[in-house]
Structure 1
């Protein structure tokens, strides 16, 4: 009974709180915060003080640093805040029943540096596995495909991309749109990202093979050359999405042999090269891979 009565009485006691810096001065980044833990002198019931002191329940407060007066020291900026100026803002963050009596230390110190911004590419960390005959129709779409990073110049200058979280997709046979968190680089001081996530879209299609007979020409870079090629045509085996299958036509492809290679060939046989093809088709095989040629004098 006496213990319960004591726990319901009001007492004053010091309770440690962590500072969460909020709203930094424009164009500045916090690089040192020696007073990151402050002591609040609280008046509250014994039970509430006991739980906050021993179990650290919600023992953190946000402090607005946007109005801190700065003085330059070399390439850094020093700022101070009188604890008394924070009484009202901190009191509003305390739980009901707790009254703020004082703050220690009486002055808080902060060090800032100039912040720099740079836009870098977003790099998706994906592991993709497809059902049979399925694959990506085109490249991975990322929105946005870049993000603005802000921090110390010597750190920002080392960044060329920002990774997304790792994600695996298995047995893909349909389009997917997903939101992925961006992974902030582990630097000190930490950099800021203008976005915390991006949206990725995977366009997945069923593919098949298509065989086309295409004539072979001589690539002579504008020179006038009379020639014969045997055989005159080759068969291209192409991988193409089902949606584009009907678009396949020999006129969309150019197969040729290089005149420079022809001149240096020892056996009158040279590799066939594909110099033009539609973006939606991938040439898997050329039959035959080499053709015979004859330069006519």
Structure 2
């Protein structure tokens, strides 16, 4: 059986046809897109240069629409990328006012100036752009640390935790500011501290966009030293004792124990203390007085008086005839 001969295609004619087709489509597109059209375009609004003493209020316009007359190419571009209109608030702001108003005519000029100058902008959706502001107030509030610090055995702090700065500036709308009277650091744990301690720690900032806090972190520090225990014996003094009264304390001396920095162990003596009982505050039913310290050296910790209650006997002097 004889095979049929294969049909040969004229590839040259096909190529010419495709070229003419491409040119025809291109000509049609150029003709179509070169014409002027009028349609509504939506643009985003961005507010810049907010005056330092103000803050943008909520619910200000975020978009504006307008009729745009231009060629098809421009329309195609703005369909791919939404126009962004930037509003410089400081340019229209009057000090002390809570509202910035941009009339329709100015708004059209502002939009046209930020788009292609050959475009025609009409029928803006806003009769006037009104931007609401909130006047800012500032005050200082104290900072409290939430750091959790534990020491290596035998080590302690010489004083309380120091926070620098101990207060921060908080700024925002007056009604919001009233709700805050202090601020804390973030919770952070430090363990086995055995040397002088200093760390920067961030503040727990309020979850309120309209508030600003300066600074947003503080430094915490502690003077840390190794401690050891010491015990001394002190005489007990009596104050507010009537002139004609003689008493005998039982006991007349007592021991005081405390933790002291190792470096200061030898320098702390009984002369650094004053232990007393106040006769005017005696317990008359049980006939005792409480011991108190009116003088003690700085830097010692965990002071314990062995005899907290002191019994006493009263001897009255005989009056002279």
Same fold, judged at TM 0.5 (above): yes
Identify which of 132, 154, 161 aligns with 1:140. Answer: 161
Matching residue of 1:66: 90
Matching residue of 1:192: 212
Secondary structure class of the residue paired with 1:212? strand
Matching residue of 1:94: none
Structure 2 stretches of 5 or more lacking a match?
Answer: 1-21, 23-40, 317-321
**Of the two, which has the highest radius of gyration?**
2
Contact 2:226/2:262 (<8 A) preserved: yes
Secondary structure class of the residue paired with 2:90? coil
Matching residue of 1:5: none
C-alpha separation between the residues in 2 aligned to 1:160 and 1:114? 19
C-alpha separation between the residues in 2 aligned to 1:152 and 1:89? 34
Deviation at 1:30, TM superposition (A): 2.5
Deviation at 1:295, TM superposition (A): 2.6
**Normalization by structure 2: what TM-score?**
0.67
Structure 1 stretches of 5 or more lacking a match?
Answer: 3-13, 54-58, 92-100
C-alpha separation between the residues in 1 aligned to 2:211 and 2:99? 20
Aligned-CA RMSD value: 4.1
Contact 2:230/2:265 (<8 A) preserved: yes
Contact 1:33/1:110 (<8 A) preserved: no
Contact 1:182/1:196 (<8 A) preserved: yes
* Cα displacement string for residues 52-108 of structure 1 (whole angstroms, at most 9, x for unaligned residues): 88xxxxx99986533332598xxx7111356667779989xxxxxxxxx89x87764
Matching residue of 2:137: 116
Matching residue of 2:60: 34
Matched, 1:288 2:314: no
Greater strand fraction, Structure 1 or Structure 2: 1
Identify which of 202, 207, 212 aligns with 2:232. Answer: 212
**Normalization by structure 1: what TM-score?**
0.72
Contact 1:143/1:198 (<8 A) preserved: yes
C-alpha separation between the residues in 2 aligned to 1:167 and 1:60? 43
Secondary structure class of the residue paired with 2:210? coil
Aligned positions, number: 269
Residues 1-297 of structure 1: matches in 2 within 5 Å? 19=46, 21-36=47-62, 64-70=88-94, 77-81=98-102, 108-187=129-208, 190-220=210-240, 223-224=242-243, 225-262=245-282, 264-297=283-316
Secondary structure class of the residue paired with 1:280? coil
Deviation at 1:199, TM superposition (A): 1.7
